[in-house]
Structure 1
Amino acid sequence: MTGLAWVLLAGFAVVSALDWVAVARRPEGQLLETVCKPAALGLLVLTALALDPEDGGQRVWFVAGLVLSLAGDVFLLPAVDRFVAGLASFLLAHLAYVAGLAVDPGSSLGGLLVGAVVVAAVGVVLGRRVVSAAARQDRAMVGPVMAYIAAISAMVVAAVATGDPPAIAGAALFYASDALIALTRFERPRPWAPRAIMVTYHLGQLGLVSSLTG
């Protein structure tokens, strides 16, 4: 990792921590969150660009995923609250990550099968729960939610296929973050969820970016 990447990563850590504080203090922390949430991903985009990756093509896809995630972050800010637009942005981000992970030289058929089995097992329980909750609230959301689950599941499978611990951990944390968002939005609010969502999300993105260095 380059010296510049380390500096940017330190900035990401500080801004992310400030965002976690802001989220925990809603609504008083809304202004700080509005600044720090997109700034954190912006710094992670710059970190990815400053890295010395094993595969430049993989970085292109990861940067695309980060930029789309940044757009999703803005759409999901409490001051904006465009859930469908945010969902679409993150769906595309997951597909970009799938493309980037697919070109990883460490990917294997065995890893792909293991990932598929694990994700299928989780999906039977958690995916059905989320879809059922979405249907009870708004049946029009069932299709988009199912498409989103398919996209993020594909990302986790692709990460497991690489056999790379940072990529696997990053994808799993990203999945956990999105599951919490869905359960909080479609089932019931959970006082601890907003901070947990952001902590797992930022660490998940960090894991994926870290995997670029091999």
Structure 2
Amino acid sequence: MSTVASTSPAFRRALAPMVACAALAAMLGGVLGEGADAWQWLHWIAKPLATVLVIATALAWPPITSRYRRRIVVGLVCSLFGDVLLMWPADLFVAGLVAFLIGHLYFISGFLGDSRPGTRPLAWLGCLLLAALNLAWLWPSIPPALRGAVVVYALVLAAMAAQALGRAWSHAGDALARPARRAAIGGLLFMLGDSLLAWDRFHGALPLAAVWVLGSYYAAVWFIARSVARDDGAVGAMQASLA
């Protein structure tokens, strides 16, 4: 994962529009796929393809550290498995949830490389409060058999977003500010996307759900993938924080 010399600047510039096109195709297939096999196939192909391109994005730039990139990439690969499991014709919702949960744990481990656990308590309070409110509103609609899994997932997701937000807050103004800010945006967007998915699944169908859920999800993983890339001076700052 540490070799990026073969990745050309032109390929790096092309990744963003490639991800955008695949994501738009996945959304279009999701919206039009009900009862239309051709559109459903577009969704099934484009949805994981977009995530694969996001993983390529995380591998394309020189990283802050190889350890940080390794953990983020593993988290993104787990998200890819979650993508596939959630769209499988069989009901593999819990399996998909577990795949995403493991991915969030890897994201958290990456964020902990240069920030303390629980840094910035206000960030944690805000994210956990949002998770609790969301669970409270959805609780009557969640099947009892799924409540335990949903609670665990919501807490881990909130912890991931909170650690990313607190990390960005801690690094504001230093050489890691921009990469940390990207990860924080990604973490918050992940909370938004998964909240929309939960409302669509448990409370009632959202209009154009594929657009809102997938749009926020792909934006989330894109920002997290881009948080791997170092800015000038970021490597030295990370190494100093680990010393």
Q: After TM superposition, give the deviation of residue 78 of structure 1 in Å.
A: 5.3
Q: Which residue pairs with 2:89 in the alignment?
A: 79
Q: After TM superposition, give the deviation of residue 150 of structure 1 in Å.
A: 1.1
- Where 2:196 maps in the other structure, the secondary structure is helix
Q: Which residue pairs with 1:44 in the alignment?
A: 54
1:195 to 201, 211, 216: 211
2:132 partner letter: V
Q: Which residue pairs with 2:141 in the alignment?
A: 133
Larger Rg computed on CA atoms = 2
Q: Which residue pairs with 2:30 in the alignment?
A: 23
1:143 partner letter: G
1:159 to 149, 153, 164: 164
Contact preservation (8 Å) 1:75, 1:82: yes
Contact preservation (8 Å) 1:38, 1:74: yes
Q: After TM superposition, give the deviation of residue 64 of structure 1 in Å.
A: 0.6
The answer to whether 1:211 aligns with 2:227 is yes
Q: Which residue pairs with 2:176 in the alignment?
A: none
- Where 2:120 maps in the other structure, the secondary structure is helix
Contact preservation (8 Å) 1:112, 1:161: yes
Q: Which residue pairs with 2:171 in the alignment?
A: none
Contact preservation (8 Å) 1:19, 1:36: yes
Contact preservation (8 Å) 1:114, 1:160: no
Contact preservation (8 Å) 2:30, 2:43: yes
Q: After TM superposition, give the deviation of residue 21 of structure 1 in Å.
A: 1.5
| Change in 2 beyond 3 A, CA 1:153/1:2 | farther
Aligned identity (percent) is 27
Q: Distance in 2 between matches of 1:158 and 1:78?
A: 31
Q: After TM superposition, give the deviation of residue 186 of structure 1 in Å.
A: 1.0
* 1:119-168 deviations in Å (ceiling 9; x for gaps): 1221231122233421xxx2111110111011101100111121132111
Aligned length: 209
| Change in 2 beyond 3 A, CA 1:143/1:32 | same
2:134 partner letter: L
Contact preservation (8 Å) 2:128, 2:155: no
**TM-score (normalizing by structure 1):** 0.90
Show structure 2 runs of 5+ residues with no match. 1-6, 169-179, 231-243
* 1:9-36 deviations in Å (ceiling 9; x for gaps): 3321211121121122122321100000
Contact preservation (8 Å) 1:20, 1:198: yes
2:147 partner letter: V
Q: Distance in 2 between matches of 1:123 and 1:16?
A: 26
1:86 partner letter: G
Show structure 1 runs of 5+ residues with no match. none
Q: Distance in 1 between matches of 2:65 and 2:135?
A: 33
1:10 to 17, 39, 58: 17
Provide runs of 4+ in structure 1 moved above 6 Å. none
Contact preservation (8 Å) 2:131, 2:155: no
